[in-house]
Amino acid sequence: MKYIALIPSYCPDERLITLVKSLCAEDWIPVIVNDGSPSEYDTFFQACEPYAVILYQPENKGKGTALKKGLFWVKENMTDEAVVTTVDSDGQHTVEDASRCAHLAVKHPDSLILGMRNFDQMQVPFKSKAGNKLTEKAFRFVTGKTIHDTQTGLRSFSTNLIPFLLMVNGNRYEYEMNVLLQCADRNIPMMEVEIQTIYEGQNEGSHFHVLRDSFLIYRQLFSFILSSLSSFFLDYLLYVLFSIALHGKHAYLYANLLARAISSLFNFEVNRKLVFHSDEEHMKSFVKYMFLAAGILICNMTLLYLFTAKLHMNAYLAKICTEAFLFTVSWMVQKSFVYTKGALQ
């Protein structure tokens, strides 16, 4: 078994040299990707040449592109069994922690192993602590998975995951977040290993941006909200029109039934194609969605009846309250049950 340390590096310092020498002392194969660093940093890369494979990007294209360049090199050049561990070049990761992650990846070759820092420690800068807490909660809500350190750069995996990792979108720092989201979507196991929490100063060199990186997680949720809102407006418009056209004691219930049937078909197609990007067979997703829609419809009709007949609420206001109540239920079921993606084969 070979252990490869993949190190993307932009504008490094002496810590890169120290890291590479330490890795070599433990029989690792360091692969450094110089992500278009200016020429004044050449001396650091030259000092690493006796100890590492060094790949060069002609210009700075971002961490995601650098990682993919390194992964492609491993895929093309390593024929033996190997485990790859991505390691940051700024001194935040130790060889001991990298080894612990790599050894776990050997035992679980179909899993992504994540080095998990403890953000409750005193030395953790507020920006890093707040950013991680925010993305942890957002990630859990969107994916249903709990990852305590969504920003970690220390990750281990066997080479059989490389084709999947090369397919993940993202050229810069969003790539690492996209990997986690895609693993959650495709049911690729993610395991966390607690590692040392190392920060110097206030972590001024961190490239994490709270708003930008959080948006990457919230983007799917925002898409679902827009989809739900458009479906709701269509549903509500049809509900009003059918309520006016139909007559009788329970005309509003029949109007709701017809409106939900039409808007549900619209909602299914929008969510399948634009929100969850499901690659599951169309009919299989449709059947599962119909079961969900039937359950939601029963709850919808029951709540609408209770609000209007028992609480004497205005029929139009009751419709809004009912839809708002069922929104979260619909999101969670569609995310985890209806629109699924197959695990990596």
Structural domains in the chain?
A: 2-208 (3.90.550.10), 220-338 (no CATH)
pLDDT tens-place string over residues 222-274: 775 677 788 888 988 998 899 888 887 778 888 888 988 898 888 788 877 77
The whole-chain average pLDDT of the chain stands at: 84
pTM, 2 dp: 0.69
pLDDT tens-place string over residues 86-112: 999 888 899 999 999 999 999 999 999
| 177 burial level (CB within 10 Å; 0-12, 13-18, 19+) | buried
What is the 8-class DSSP label of residue 343?
P
**How far, rounded to the nearest angstrom, does the alpha carbon of residue 152 sit from its chain's CA centroid?**
13
Q: Is the dihedral of CA 99, 100, 102, 103 positive or negative?
A: positive
pLDDT for 205 equals 45
Question: Which residue intervals of 197-338 are DSSP H helices?
Answer: 210-245, 251-270, 282-305, 315-333
pLDDT tens-place string over residues 159-196: 999 999 999 888 887 888 889 988 987 889 999 999 98
